[in-house]
A and B are shown apart, each in its own frame.
Chain A
């Protein structure tokens, strides 16, 4: 019996290194998503005040989880190069606020949906797609996170819901504005949108 256990341990030990190398992006995303779910389920946070605390927690996690500069670059594409460094910084800040305003209500509306992380597929040398499925009562919604290796960390730069990529969707909209207008016009549009909230 003892021998068998030690054999088992040996096998597990042998397996570990491969898993460690393969599973880091998936685990990073999973940990972040789970901490959001944990914040949502916290029974101490109720009512309006509780919702505020939840939102703050989500913002902290999102800052850790996403690379908003990378996300902005990929959304603007080569148009990014038309922006001055100051305009780039302002764009990233505005875009981040817009995404936060748009999705925070959706996230705090979370009840008891189950999130299953299924697998990860490499997209390029530095990018990987982490696939998950959110099971609601009526449907299975595939949500894929595209992550990029930054230093030693994996950061999300795109979210693909039901096959619809977030950055592609915004790129289509920004392209239309930047086609005939200078970057300042886009920034002004975004400022107005943020101001309305």
Chain B
């Protein structure tokens, strides 16, 4: 198999991936799955609110009898809890109808991380000093500026759109083509990171459902569409020609991933170590993180 054939296969694969994104988007639009639904207390307890209140009243009554039963010092900290006492633990949730499929892809990505991405990032980190890797990461941040400008505009954040535009101009000139984030370092200009997934969220669109992509990782139906739009806003996308995905921009994407990972070796391992079920831990962290960015 020669090189041009490989590229043709790759393009076909990318076309397929692109159609999948569209398909998923359409499905999510019509399925009417509202995603991040508010906590459903009944699911946790199988009891309604009224019953909960009764239990609360009963609970406070029980405290006294417990104390007399235990011969030791009165300790009610292990007593029953009521809804109000513990509701703060409830975070946003996301529908996951494709869970078996998502888990399989998660398992695949886990292997990709340990077998390819991590060794690559470790070697890369060994060869390149931190300063240079920092320049690279600033460069990629600067390349994403159009995404931030357009989406701030779309979200009605005109001020931040202007600030991001100013940052782009400063960093591309004084910051030598974006190699340094001079806008932040020299002038203390703070921008606002955002993306098209959030723009959709701002206009009231839910996540649809949770979706894990091979190589790309955690996402949702909504945010997958967001990725597609943001990808087309990045200047580097058009480096290798007019194709939406080509060897040049895919290569840059991989480099960016390796560079980013070189700063974060150990983070995923720690998360996995801390989790009882890493798949659920990541799904929950993803949805919590995305919700927080919307606020």
A residues in contact (CB < 8 Å) with B: 69-70, 73-81, 85, 88-89, 98-99, 101-103, 105-106, 109, 123, 127, 137-138, 146, 158, 162-165, 167-177, 189-190, 193
For the complex of A and B, list the 5 residue pairs with the smallest distance between their C-beta atoms, beginning with the closest: A163-B292, A168-B91, A102-B274, A78-B45, A172-B284
Collect the chain A residues with CB atoms within 8 Å of residue B91's CB.
165, 168-169, 171-172
Question: How far, in angstroms, from A98 to B277 measured CA to CA in the complex?
Answer: 13
Residues 51 to 109 of chain B near chain A (Cβ within 8 Å): 52, 55, 77-78, 80-81, 83, 85-91, 93
- Of B52, B78, B277, the residue contacting A173 (CB under 8 A) is B277
Starting from the known contacts A163-B291, A163-B292, 11 additional A-B residue pairs (CB-CB under 8 Å) come to A74-B88, A74-B89, A75-B89, A76-B86, A77-B45, A77-B86, A109-B266, A164-B284, A168-B91, A172-B283, A174-B276
Which of B91, B93, B289 counts the most A-chain CB atoms under 10 A from its CB? B91
Which single residue of chain A is at the shortest CB-CB distance from B264? A138
Question: How far, in angstroms, from A33 to B280 measured CA to CA in the complex?
Answer: 29
Rounded to whole Å, the gap between the CB of A108 and the closest CB of chain B is: 12
Which single residue of chain A is at the shortest CB-CB distance from B137? A138
Q: Mark B145-175, 1 if CB is under 8 A from A, else 0.
A: 0000000000000000000000000000000
Collect the chain B residues with CB atoms within 8 Å of residue A80's CB.
80-81, 86
A137-B130 in contact given A103-B274, A172-B91, A190-B276 (Cβ < 8 Å) = yes
Question: How far, in angstroms, from A181 to B293 measured CA to CA in the complex?
Answer: 35
Question: How far, in angstroms, from A40 to B78 measured CA to CA in the complex?
Answer: 34
A sample of 9 cross-chain residue pairs with beta-carbon separation below 8 angstroms, ordered by A number, consists of: A78-B41, A106-B270, A137-B130, A158-B88, A165-B91, A165-B288, A168-B90, A170-B276, A190-B276
Collect the chain A residues with CB atoms within 8 Å of residue B284's CB.
164, 168-169, 172-173
Residues 172 to 228 of chain B near chain A (Cβ within 8 Å): none
Q: Are A73 and B280 within 8 A (Cβ)?
A: no
Question: How far, in angstroms, from A109 to B277 measured CA to CA in the complex?
Answer: 24
Which of B93, B288, B292, B293 counts the most A-chain CB atoms under 10 A from its CB? B288
Q: Are A169 and B285 within 8 A (Cβ)?
A: yes
Q: Are B274 and A99 within 8 A (Cβ)?
A: yes
Which single residue of chain B is at the shortest CB-CB distance from A88? B78
Q: Are A77 and B44 within 8 A (Cβ)?
A: yes
- Of A77, A102, A169, A177, the residue contacting B273 (CB under 8 A) is A102
* B238, CB-defined interface residue at 8 Å: no
* B281, CB-defined interface residue at 8 Å: yes
Q: Are A167 and B89 within 8 A (Cβ)?
A: yes
Q: Are A168 and B78 within 8 A (Cβ)?
A: no
Q: Are B83 and A105 within 8 A (Cβ)?
A: no
Q: Are B77 and A69 within 8 A (Cβ)?
A: yes
Which of A105, A138, A189 counts the most B-chain CB atoms under 10 A from its CB? A138
* B275, CB-defined interface residue at 8 Å: yes
Collect the chain B residues with CB atoms within 8 Å of residue A176's CB.
277, 280
- Of A78, A98, A127, A158, the residue contacting B274 (CB under 8 A) is A98
* B134, CB-defined interface residue at 8 Å: yes
Which single residue of chain A is at the shortest CB-CB distance from B295? A163
Residues 237 to 295 of chain B near chain A (Cβ within 8 Å): 263, 266, 270, 273-277, 280-281, 283-285, 288-289, 291-293
